[in-house]
Structure 1
Amino acid sequence: MSRSPWLRLASVLSATAAILLLTASTPPKSSVTTNALRATVEKLGGQPCKDSDLTCLKIKVPIDHFSNEPKGEIEIEFAIHFANQQSKGLLIYLVGGPGSSGLQVAEDSLADHDHRLGDEMDVVFLDQRGTGTNTLIDCPAAIARYDMADLDPDKPDTAIAQAKGFVADCTGEMKHAELLPYVDTEQAIRDLEAFRQAIGAPKVWLYGESYGTQFAQQYAVAFPGAIAGVILDGVLDTALGSEAYAVADSKAVEGIFTRILRSCDGRSDCHADMGRASAAAYDELASRLAKAPIQVDFPLPNGDRIPRELNSGMLEGTAFSSLYTPSDRRDFLRVLAAAARGNLIPLMRLTYYDLAVDPETLDGVGYGSFYSGAYYAISCLDYTEEGDSPEAAARSILARAKTLRAQFPRFIQLYFSDRLPCAFWPARAKTARGPSFTGGDYPTVILNSDADPATPISNGYAVFDRVKHGYMITMQGGPHVIMGRGLGCPDKIVLALLLDGETPVAHEQICDTSLVRSYTPLTLTGPADAKDGFAVARAIETEVEQFPEIPWDIGSDPISVGCDRGGMIEARKTKDGAEFRFKDCQLWPGLRITGTGSAHRQGDSSDDITLVVEIEGSHHGRLNYHHDWITEATTIAGDYDGAEIATPRPPLP
């Protein structure tokens, strides 16, 4: 169960800003203009990035910046977006992880932010060493096995064997293992400085998200003269070692999860689905799993059902992954409610999705633009676990975990699961991290949510209390990383500073948003519900949206998914959305669905879903259903249980 701040930023939130009063000095601007930067990059060999409108540039850097004896060179690749207008400065965009590819997420990241950012600033992304094509370090198969393991501090010998096995498997699986001693952040910040020097050494703005905030702080400490301003979004406190961070994070996660469970109790639909207090539902399931894994007959697309195990580690990993955004939190509550009613399959689906595991084969499929091998390679150098020996370090971590179990009863693995591999990691840090970041004669903006599970709000306040010329914006109830969500707070406040030189009106401000997105109730929970053909059609639409295996942006290959109680759904990409084919799909007991569906998700007036399906089993019918997502209007035609069905009319008073 990785504690890595891997981001899933699909949800759209709502927020309001609380405005206070104070002023500060106008920030400095970078002296680089777009035309000058473009000419410099082209002179250095910049070329159009593959499948992108950005310009890519490779810079050769030493493998080891700290060695007096040359060990060779590697290439680090940068992607540059040139401002659409006259540039107001140069922003270095540092993505999360560690282990994320900046180049792969560059265009999506720019699209997430207000258009003014790309219009008025040059923006640079990089593939940090360990993530780029030439230096990629990853081990998806090994990480999948480790993330699904049940690690128990009361069984230290077993836990240590699991950690050792993961390290051996991971390093054996990865390419470029020879780079493992040289991928720490202190090396990486010098790669960025080599780029800055190559383009003329302008002053730069740094925007770091999640782990990127650590990168930004270490860079600003090492090269203070390079900085025009710093924006830290989802903040890691670089003053903390691995032990202190693990304790702070575990404490925060326990509190956030309790808030989320309580939010379900305060919603009539969620509470009704759960059938009891949500904490009781979770703890009862966790208690069962603590005694032994639960066998689940998991459905495959070919119609077979195969026995699978759900264990404590998988539950804890999925629960933790659910904390990142309000929509993730809602989705977890729904699968927990299904589990409380005896259906563990939705929980298993979400677990496989969150852990990047193929539900058919249990093979690790990786996270696309995030590489778990690089995550461990970088983290284990930045936060080397100390001890008289690797074995001693690991046993010390597990002994401490036993003493903390009462404080962290639901997330004890979170405290130690990432640290154990670092005790046995083959590369050790050669250089210590620099001193803690304290800001400078430039503005530093701290952005954090008080419901952030990966970079706790306590980290943000600790950094804010240290820095000069600091500004803190806290989103109450928000996700991990709060900028680029389309919200006035913090986006307009930060962009006014970045682009217009308008300092925030206060050194501390707060935003407010929903902790959990609107709950989606379980469908057809009783036999009587299936008597209504219109309710069945709406329920099919709802359940199709709940399959984590079926994204709205389907790739070129079709996706086949086994339905909970038999049959399958096949999804294919179309020019303007997706089409679905139902083959004896049983989403509920006694109902078989056969037919087709089509969905459009273009953000215009054509956004809708249409279902043309036949129902067999305990009920029979033919349903032609259409839901327009723009107008929110719904229509239906066909027949059900021998009677014509039409769009229902509300009862007359």
Structure 2
Amino acid sequence: MPEARRWRVLALAVLLLGTVTACSGQKGAEPSPGASDRRAAAPTEQAPTPALQPYYGQRPAWSECGDGFECAKVQVPLDYGKPDGERIQISVNRLRTEDQRQRIGAILLNPGGPGASGLNYARAATSVLTPQIRDRFDVIGFDPRGVGESTPIRCLSTERLDDYLSLDNTPDSDAETGALEEGARRFGAGCQATSGKLLPHVGTVNAARDIDVLRAALGEPGLTYLGKSYGTYLGAVYADLFPNRVRALVLDGAVDPALTPIETNLTQAAGFEVAMRAFVEDCFKRASCPFQEHRVESALTQVEDLLRRTDRTPLTNATSDGRQVTEAWAALGVITPLYDKRSWATLRQALTSAFKGDGTELLQLADILIDRRQDGTYSNQTEANMAINCVDGEFPATVAAYRKAADQAADRSPRFGEPVMWSSLPCAFWPASPTPIPAPLDAKGAPPILVVGTERDPATPFRWSKSLAAQLSSGVLLGYDGDGHTAYLTGSNCVNNAVDAYLLTTRPPAKGTHCRS
């Protein structure tokens, strides 16, 4: 696979910096009147209600859409509390297994984000699933509501989104803090102006209910699913809503639903520090290592100094797009390769250039993470990510609260803490009210659910996987002593074999299984 294409595939499975949130609340609370999107308003159902039967009874009209795939649209209600009201469409694609006689069923994929395209992820099936799984399952990709080709959220023009992502997210003056607040307010106002009707309904509960409609439309009696990063949260919510409709769920690189958004940001920032240390220690073994001294603390300080220098004087940009490589862009560029150990050589090269004043490669890496295309346009990944997170969690409502949280995050993560925390600031002024999901999620009555966690995952720390596996009544944890974000098909035969065996047979590995290669 060409390097640029491989990077795009890796970027699809990311947990976007600082904006994925978990939800807080007490499980079992009654919903307020009219709160039709809350989990409590969507009880576990043995059969769809009469009003939902038209959705559950539909069959996709598949048509060829290139590279062996078929594409279709599935209709779902905008508001599940008003199923006779407005409808929206979920875009779906399918790669059928060549030997239908050996077919077990269909496997649905979600790469995370939230906001990443599942359609694109499915088209990378050879990098996402082993041949053994592709031989036995139809591969199903879908863009969740608000994402990509499924009635997408739109908020800002390309130029305005460039401006927003260029803001100084380590503010050290009232003027810089004020600019962040103005940018955050403008972001929310843009979403309201362009997608206001959709904003209250893009939360994870509705996305999970859409999955159940899709499962039925595909003719699957039980859901087989591979979710990574935020996709683990989506899968866990599905299992909690529909435990009796689960066949096999693999939740790789788990989000912990029991954490508040601020706790999530704090833990994630610390996770990037762990990954950065692992990268530095590995770097010392390589001839191309750019650090002046082969001491961990010295190398980390060199990276921190680089980012602080770009706060004052941007690095050069050899492309013709006119952007300055400020600290915000440089930090995103450093973070991107931390998601996959196989890409650490790319980070070594980018840092080598950056230490000499050239930020072009860091900027190109940042573009991959946020899905900015070569022509300068964006997918709606960043906008959908913000919209979904802001309605899923209850965030602080004041700039002062973010300032306090950012200072706390900087203590734990000197290089990444502040950017992670400030990146959620638009949620303080979001035009749609949050509808948080009561936690923890136990999915009582579901068959075994496999949760996979990587010890030095930069975005979803291993403790999150342990926590989710413990919350799920049938959760089974598969640990991996490795680096990078998520574990399946990232280099461990032990993980690959255990996941495949579970997907094929629904039998999880023994409790306590921990892979080391």
TM-score range, shorter chain: 0.7 to 0.9
Q: Which protein has greater RCO, CA pairs closer than 8 Å, 6+ apart?
A: 2
Instruction: Provide closer, same or farther for how the CA distance between residues 135 and 501 of structure 1 changes in structure 2, counting only shifts above 3 A.
Output: closer
Deviations 1:270-328 (A, max 9, x none): 45x43323653552463365365224444357xxxx99644332332222222101133
1:104-150 residue CA offsets vs partner (Å, 9 max, x unmatched)? 32121355311221221233322211124351124454433222221
Q: For each residue in 1:155-213, what CA deviation from the matched residue of structure 2 results, as whole angstroms up to 9, or x when unmatched? A: 35633532432452575378544311111111111222223344556122222111111
Aligned-pair CA distance for 1:452: 1.4
State the distance in 2 between where 1:406 and 1:459 align: 21
Corresponding residue to 1:183 among 202, 212, 218:
202
Identity across matched positions, percent: 25
Indicate if the aligned counterparts of 1:274 and 1:338 stay in contact, CA closer than 8 A: no
Task: Check 1:80–1:41 CA distance in 2 against 1; reply closer, same or farther (3 A cut).
Answer: farther
Q: What residue number does 1:214 align with?
A: 233
Contact residue 242 and residue 383 of structure 1 kept, 8 A: yes
Q: Residues 447 and 460 of structure 1 are in contact (CA less than 8 Å); yes or no, is this contact kept in structure 2?
A: yes
Find out whether 1:422 has 2:438 as its counterpart: no
| Contact 1:153–1:401 (CA under 8 A) maintained in structure 2 | no
What residue number does 2:385 align with?
375
Matched AA of 2:202 = V
User: What corresponds to 2:131 in structure 1?
Assistant: 115
For residues 52-451 of structure 1, what are the structure 2 equivalents within 5 Å? 52-67=67-82, 71-83=85-97, 84-86=99-101, 87-110=103-126, 112-138=128-154, 139=156, 140-155=158-173, 158-169=176-187, 172=190, 175-200=194-219, 202-265=221-284, 267=285, 269-271=287-289, 273-277=290-294, 279-284=297-302, 286-287=304-305, 289-290=307-308, 292-300=311-319, 309-341=324-356, 343-351=358-366, 354-355=369-370, 364-366=376-378, 371-386=381-396, 390=397, 392=398, 394-430=399-435, 432-433=437-438, 435-438=440-443, 440-451=445-456
Does the CA-based 8 Å contact 1:91-1:122 persist in structure 2?
A: yes
Distance 2:424 2:475 in 1: 32
- Structure with greater helix percent: 2
Structure 1 residues 48 and 469: CA distance shift in structure 2, 3 A = same
2:255 partner letter: L
Please tell me the residue identity of whatever aligns with 2:167: A
- Higher-strand-fraction structure: 1
Alpha-carbon deviation of 1:246? Answer: 1.0
User: Are the counterparts in 2 of residues 274 and 341 from structure 1 also a CA contact under 8 Å?
Assistant: no
- TM-score, normalising length from structure 1? 0.64
Gaps of 5+ in 1: 1-5, 12-39, 514-653
Deviation, structure 1 residue 511: 2.9
Structure 1 CA distance, aligned partners of 2:245 and 2:209? 12
1:467: Cα distance to partner? Answer: 3.1
Computing the radius of gyration from Cα coordinates, the structure with the larger value is 1
Shift in Å, 1:434: 6.0
Q: Which AA in structure 2 matches 1:239?
A: A
CA distance in 2, matches of 1:228, 1:308: 48
- 1:431-580 aligned within 5 A: 432-433=437-438, 435-438=440-443, 440-485=445-490, 487-500=492-505, 503-504=508-509, 506-512=510-516
- What amino acid is aligned across from residue 375 of structure 1 in structure 2? N
Counterpart Cα distance in 2 of 1:352 and 1:122: 32
Structure 2 unaligned regions, length at least 5:
1-6, 13-54
SS class of match (2:287): helix
- Distance, in Å, in 2 between the alignment partners of 1:108 and 1:423 is 36
CA RMSD across the alignment = 3.3
Question: Distance in 1 between the 2:303 and 2:225 partners?
Answer: 44
Give per-residue Cα distances to partners, 1:362-418, cap 9 Å, x unaligned.
x84325xx62111111111112314xxx4x2x3202122223422221112243133
Contact 2:90 2:149 in 1 (8 A): no
Instruction: Supply the distance in 1 between the matched residues of 2:445 and 2:507 (Cα, whole angstroms).
Output: 18
Aligned residues: 462
Distance 1:404 1:156, change over 3 A: farther
Larger displacement relative to structure 2 (488-497 or 198-207) = 198-207
The SS at the match of 2:224 is strand
Report if aligned partners of 1:77, 1:126 keep a CA contact under 8 Å in 2.
yes
TM-score by length of 2: 0.79
Deviation at 1:422, TM superposition (A): 1.0
Distance 1:330 1:202, change over 3 A: same
1:79-101 Cα shifts (integer Å, max 9, x gaps)? 23434333223322223111122
Question: How far is 1:226 from its partner?
Answer: 0.6
Which deviates more from structure 2 when the two are superposed, residues 252-261 or residues 439-448?
439-448
